[in-house]
Amino acid sequence: MKISIYGDSFVTSGIFKSALINQVGNDHNFKLKDVNWPDTPFHNDYGEGNFSKIKEYLGNEEDVINFIEDSDILVTDLAPVSESILDNVKNLKYIGVSRGGPVNIDIDACQKKSIIVANAPGRNASAVAEFTVAKILAQTRLITLGHTTLMQGEWRGDLYRLDKTGRELSELTIGLIGYSHIGKLVKNLLVPFGCKIVFSDPYVELNNEDIADGIKKVSLENLLDMSDVVSIHARVTKETVNLIGKKEISLMKKDSYLINTARGPLLDYKALHDALSNGKLKGAALDTFYEEPLPENHIFKNLNNVTITPHIAGASVKTAYYAAEVIAKDVRNYIDGKKLVNRIC
Catalogue the active-site residues.
263, 292, 311
Whole-number Å distance between alpha carbons of 210 and 199: 10
343 three-class SS? strand
Q: What are the b/e assignments for 96-107, b being 16+ CB within 10 Å?
A: bbbbbebbbbbb
Whole-number Å distance between alpha carbons of 82 and 246: 36
Is the bond preceding residue 293 a cis peptide, omega within 30 degrees? yes
176 three-class SS? strand
SS3 letters across 266-305: HECHHHHHHHHHCCCEEEEEECCCCCCCCCCCCHHHHCCC
230 three-class SS? strand
**Max Cα separation, the chain?**
68
Whole-number Å distance between alpha carbons of 133 and 161: 24
